Structure 1
Amino acid sequence: MAETKFDLIVVGGGPGGYVAAIRAAQLGKKVALVEREHLGGICLNWGCIPTKALLRSSEIFSLINHAKDFGLEVKGDVNVILPKIVERSRKVAAQLSGGVKHLLKKNKVTVFDAYGTLAGKAGADRKIALTDKAGAAAGELTAPHVILATGARARSVPGMEPDGKLIWTYREAMVPDVMPKSLLVVGSGAIGIEFASFYKTLGADVTVVEMVDRILPAEDEEISAFARKSFEKQGMKILTGAATKSITKGANNVTVTVEQGGKTQAITVDRVILAVGIVGNVENIGLEGTAVKVEKSHVVIDDYCGTGEPGVYAIGDLAGPPWLAHKASHEGVICVEKIFGVGDVHPLDTSNVPGCTYCQPQVASVGLTEAKAKAAGYSVKVGRFPFMGNGKAIALGEPEGLVKTVFDAKTGELLGAHMIGAEVTELIQGYAIARTLESTEAELMHTVFPHPTLSEMMHEAVLDAYGRAIHF
């Protein structure tokens, strides 16, 4: 008979859950992980990883179409073979999901392929009831501590509910049965813009509809404006301050009525992608009758991921923004270390969590935007450096981009950094480390950046904030 008594039970095997389970196992604890579908969660199987595989295909397609710019000739047509693109994406996800399974086994975490639900207490322990895929009871587990990491799902729009054929969520957009000739994306956050970029690069006629007055609304306004200009240059249509009012489905197309500035227009497309946010998976996990508080579909937690119910914790997308895999993983580690008394555990400062959008050009940021820094009462110094002033960017054929830094004028604290351009999703970690180390402009100025690299722009953007840029 399988073991049923554990030190910790984690419900959900995504990037928050499996990392929490492994960290607890490293501390010598007996750990159970309950996962109903895929190890690695949405991120690994239907989000972060497979979308990057798709975007890599579109990036290569774009490079091939510009081969002449690099002195190369590609003979014959370059064709998009959509099933092969999707197949590669799914293989990448499957490989990494298998890797997570191996890591859990290596760390002696007991995995239960089932649904897990809070089911009261057994003395001082919490109970988790297991249900198999057929809906039948599959036993109970007990532990003094339970971490809920059940994630989130795509938000729906009333009157525009996904149907899996004409109206897609990210899930259908990742495994399309056909390449749409035209596409309307509702929402211009990271998910919406990534899919808009993918399909546009592969040849679709793409329109993006955003309710607020700019795309990528979580980003610095200057970066948002730069991104819009770049996307429109590529041929993408962008409607901001706009809302979808009604929808009519045809046999193989959709007509959406969009209102903007008091005027309406009907837009007919092959497919619609909904990317209007997410809602936490708080249903059917046994929260009823507990002291766990839910606000706006997310579990309310304290600085160390504790809920209002003793012995019950929540991490990741279930616990609210930022809805990022790396935030979930870090919360998992913090939560476990706090539970089991590891010394020097610090609460997560979400302003130090970098955000990345893998469109073309890429967008990345960490910390406060210029507007938010000013609104918070800071007197700021702002530095900028364009990609066109960087030798490596020009050599790569990637002269379009910008690095922006925001400093506290009084203390020199790096308040925020914002980037758009090639490989900025890799570069941003330099500024994230600087913020974690509480670096000022002095340390960043004194750091030697290698040449020729894109990272030199990070140095120049710091120098520019203080009137010392060399190459611009």
Structure 2
Amino acid sequence: MSKYDIIVLGSGPGGYVTAIRASQLGFKTAVVEKENLGGVCLNWGCIPTKALLKSAEVFNYLNHAEDYGLKADNVDKDFDAVIKRSRDVANGMSKGVQFLMKKNKIDVINGYGTLKAGKKISVKDSDGNTKDYEADHIIVATGAKSRALPNLPQDGKKVIGYREAMTLKEQPKKMIVVGSGAIGVEFAHFYNSMGTEVTIVEFLPNLVPLEDEEVSKQFEKSFKKSGIKVMTNSSVESVDTSGEGVKATVKTKKGEEILEADIVLSAVGIKTNIENIGLEDLNIKTDRDKIVVNEWYQTNVPGVYAIGDVVAGPALAHVASAEGIICVEKIKGMKVEALDYGNIPGCTYASPEIASVGLTEKQAKEQGYEIKVGKFPFSASGKASASGKKDGFVKVIYDAKYGEWLGCHMIGAGVTDMIAEAVLGRKLETTGHEVLKAVHPHPTMSEAVMEATAAAYDEVIHL
């Protein structure tokens, strides 16, 4: 039986990063993966969706070339080629992870892994052969999949999840997107940009309901302007796939409405991959579809750990990576700091983009803070005007007493690349005055952070 210091079950952005850091720290390390290295993120999530969205952005630019004083006649798309480019990008990234495994001398064990007593993992390969492996430490990083609702069963053809949405053979003429989290709105934007008639159905009162309310309202306004039909306070009660397309019965405040489409995309959240991996056999504690761990990602069973989507916290790639690094550094005996889940950036890559960190204005008030709030619209930004991307704003929230940066919320072009300033500033316990007096480059989108801060302190220049 092969023996390792650390075996990681799953090779997504949590698993493979964990394995690399473990190897760097001198642990003999292996990764068990049943499908492709890189997991959902690299193969079916974060990376290939961004490739699709880039194609949509270029297509939009070409269709609006006249706005920039240019001419682009007979602009068309090759939907198959767009999908192929996305898959090629994903495949390239997965090969990159293969290279990193070899570089860091990490053994890749292909097959379906199941936890066993005695710090062992049993792996069944594609031929049905089973082999056991032993490790001092086993880290579960099995991720999640698209959640299926009883009233919205996925058949993979007419009612689909995110995987099928990335590899459709034909572009649908009409699509219904159920759910307006990041997955839902990103696909809604992509297909709408490609020319599909898109309706998005959201149960809650606002699109992207976890965001600051002002951001949600601006986002809905932008989506409607782009031609997407938005139905909030609505729910899909049932679907009928017996005909040529799909008929969805949608419950609204005004009553029921029947929507017809070629495809329904279910984007109502995720379901963790914790079934049939041996948790029950080891009596590992779970709670509401999550593995219970402490701040160092230790389960109740010594030598077994869990990170990423399978534990409580935001189901984000960068969170999984950070958790895995903390986990193995703690195993090594290093002095480590527990992850601050209050300072995790969230990003949505539709158009306009959304990025946020910290408390919303409503949350800050509910927690009893006396606050200073500043907002700077990109319509007043020289760079945004020159770029033709004036939708959106930056909103900052500071504690009035101490100047603590409580929250930052952005909506607009490229804001997912700007939010790190707020994350770092909050990590370093910066104050509003320090942000205000830190010289920001002009003309850039990023100076909107300084301008919004100036607005919070009644020192704004360009409004």
TM-score by length of 2: 0.98
CA drift of 1:250 comes to 3.8
Determine if the alignment matches structure 1 residue 100 to structure 2 residue 92. Answer: no
- Choose from 128, 134, 138 the match for 1:135: 128
Q: Give 1:388's aligned amino acid.
A: S
Q: Following TM superposition, where does structure 1 have runs of at least 4 consecutive aligned residues deviating by more than 3 angstroms?
A: none
Q: Distance in 1 between matches of 2:24 and 2:334?
A: 12
Report if aligned partners of 1:304, 1:347 keep a CA contact under 8 Å in 2.
yes
5+ unaligned residues in a row in structure 2: which ranges? none
In the other structure, the counterpart of 2:173 is 181
Report if aligned partners of 2:116, 2:282 keep a CA contact under 8 Å in 1.
no
Report if aligned partners of 2:116, 2:281 keep a CA contact under 8 Å in 1.
no
Q: Distance in 2 between matches of 1:270 and 1:416?
A: 41
- Choose from 77, 80, 83 the match for 2:80: 83
Determine if the alignment matches structure 1 residue 253 to structure 2 residue 245. Answer: yes
1:31-65 deviation line (CA, Å, top 9, x unaligned): 01111101000000000000000000001111111
1:142-178 deviation line (CA, Å, top 9, x unaligned): 1111100000011011132111110110000001111
CA drift of 1:421 comes to 0.4
1:65-76 map, 5 Å = 65-75=63-73
1:28-427 map, 5 Å = 28-75=26-73, 77-121=74-118, 126-137=119-130, 139-343=131-335, 345-427=336-418
Report if aligned partners of 1:300, 1:307 keep a CA contact under 8 Å in 2.
yes
Q: Give 1:135's aligned amino acid.
A: G
Determine if the alignment matches structure 1 residue 13 to structure 2 residue 15. Answer: no
CA drift of 1:262 comes to 4.7
Q: Distance in 2 between matches of 1:264 and 1:145?
A: 53
Q: Give 1:419's aligned amino acid.
A: M
Q: Secondary structure at the match of 2:258?
A: strand
CA drift of 1:423 comes to 0.1
CA drift of 1:252 comes to 3.0
CA drift of 1:107 comes to 0.6
Report if aligned partners of 1:166, 1:252 keep a CA contact under 8 Å in 2.
no
1:179-210 deviation line (CA, Å, top 9, x unaligned): 11111000000000000000111111111111
CA drift of 1:279 comes to 1.0
- Choose from 428, 432, 437 the match for 1:441: 432
1:200-256 deviation line (CA, Å, top 9, x unaligned): 111111111111111101100000000001101111111111111121114431000
Q: Give 2:344's aligned amino acid.
A: V
What is the percent sequence identity of the aligned residues? 50
Q: Distance in 2 between matches of 1:303 and 1:468?
A: 41
Q: Distance in 2 between matches of 1:176 and 1:353?
A: 33
Matched residues, number: 463
CA drift of 1:425 comes to 0.6
Q: Distance in 2 between matches of 1:112 and 1:44?
A: 18
Q: Distance in 1 between matches of 2:312 and 2:176?
A: 27
Q: Distance in 2 between matches of 1:173 and 1:205?
A: 15
| CA RMSD after TM alignment | 1.0
CA drift of 1:316 comes to 0.6
5+ unaligned residues in a row in structure 1: which ranges? none
Q: Distance in 2 between matches of 1:133 and 1:351?
A: 41
In the other structure, the counterpart of 1:454 is 445
